[in-house]
Amino acid sequence: MKINVNVQNSLSASYTTDLSKEKTILETKNVDLCYVPQVKTLKNVTIQIPEKKVTAFIGPSGCGKSTLLRCFNRMNDLIPGISMKGLISIDGIDIYSPEIKLEELRKKVGMVFQKSNPFPMGIWENVAFGPKVNGIKEKAELDEIVESALIQADLWNEVKDRLNNSALDLSGGQQQRLCIARALANKPEIILMDEPASALDPISTSKIEETIDELRENYTIIIVTHNMQQAARVSDYTAFMMTGEMVEFNATSKLFTNPEKKLTEDYITGRFG
């Protein structure tokens, strides 16, 4: 079955989709990663993520998309026995170098998880959490940050009257948008999203997609998804991974209509995976 992809989608049509013309913000070079010694989960991954674009990672389950994503904010660090080789840099700076402060990196590279995970606190507290742990104390300033983050995440109108209510009282979709707002409150440059809508109903999913669409102007977004239509709808560029290898990285329109690799074509046409 050939997927019917509307790449001439009104939103992304106006963007350049030529990788070589993009400014790179995040770059990996020959990244190998082993959870267990000798077993490479990522194999020689090299990719350049363009700035202020939405990049989608697709690929069959277990191919290492999440693993790669977690390398970008070093969430893998704490896993015992893990080892990584190669270079990952943001704005040309090696994020694994000793000078890098983990907290600063994660402030710069936000993350939204597959399953929404709001803290068991009020909505306001959730959004203000990041700025607070990063040293902002003034209430007025925090209020401002919270408001703008909620507005950007399309949640403000729904929650502005009950900012002190428990975040756990929100619906699943609202919770996920709250998590996006929470990540935005840190004013990150890059937002990593690992299947952010996979646990949501179609309406909530489209809301999330709309949000992503509004964010693309100001943020670099890297999104992992299993839903290829979603990748096609929201992303400017798409990377296809398999068994830990970066098979093809290209403009979304190109990758879905005219993939360079046979493997990619087989995958997007649903021949496996």
Ligand X SMILES: Nc1ncnc2c1ncn2[C@@H]1O[C@H](COP(=O)(O)OP(=O)(O)OP(=O)(O)O)[C@@H](O)[C@H]1O
Q: Which residues bind other proteins (CB under 8 A)?
A: 73, 75, 80, 98-99, 101-107, 110-111, 113, 115, 117-121, 129-130, 133-134, 166, 168, 179, 182-183, 186
Strand partners, 241: 246
Write a three-state SS string for the chain. Answer: CCCCCCCCCCCCCCCCCCHHHCCEEEEEEEEEEEEECCEEEEEEEEEEEECCCEEEEECCCCCCHHHHHHHHCCCCCCCCCCEEEEEEEECCEECCCCCCCHHHHHHHEEEECCCCCCCCCEHHHHHHHHHHHCCCCCHHHHHHHHHHHHHHCCCHHHHHHHCCCEHHHCCHHHHHHHHHHHHHCCCCCEEEEECCCCCCCHHHHHHHHHHHHHHCCCCEEEEECCCHHHHHHHCCEEEEEECCEEEEEEEHHHHHHCCCCHHHHHHHCCCCC
Tell me: does residue 230 bind ligand X (CB under 6 A): no
Nearer to ligand X by Cβ, of 41 and 152: the residue is 41
Q: How far is the CB of 87 from other proteins (least distance, A)?
A: 17
Stretch 55-94: interaction string toward Mg ion, x if CB under 5 A: -----------x----------------------------
- Residue of the chain from 26, 45, 54, 63 that contacts ligand X (CB under 6 A): 63
What is the size of the binding site for ligand X (CB under 6 A)? 11
CA dist 267 and 252 (Å) reads: 14
Distances (CA, A) of 264 to 19, 34, 231: 18, 25, 14
Q: How far is the CB of 92 from ligand X (least distance, A)?
A: 26
Nearer to Mg ion by Cβ, of 66 and 250: the residue is 66
Q: How far is the CB of 172 from other proteins (least distance, A)?
A: 13
Among Mg ion, other proteins, ligand X, none, what does residue 61 contact (CB within 5–8 Å per kind)?
Answer: ligand X
The backbone torsions φ and ψ at residue 71, rounded to the nearest 5 degrees and listed phi first, read -70, -25
Tokens of 40: 């490479």
Nearer to other proteins by Cβ, of 186 and 211: the residue is 186
Tell me: does residue 67 bind ligand X (CB under 6 A): yes
AA letter at 125: E
Tell me: does residue 35 bind ligand X (CB under 6 A): yes
Q: How far is the CB of 88 from other proteins (least distance, A)?
A: 16
Among ligand X, Mg ion, other proteins, none, what does residue 129 contact (CB within 5–8 Å per kind)?
Answer: other proteins
Among other proteins, Mg ion, ligand X, none, what does residue 63 contact (CB within 5–8 Å per kind)?
Answer: ligand X
Tell me: does residue 122 bind ligand X (CB under 6 A): no
Among ligand X, other proteins, Mg ion, none, what does residue 148 contact (CB within 5–8 Å per kind)?
Answer: none
Q: How far is the CB of 268 from Mg ion (least distance, A)?
A: 18
Tell me: does residue 79 bind ligand X (CB under 6 A): yes
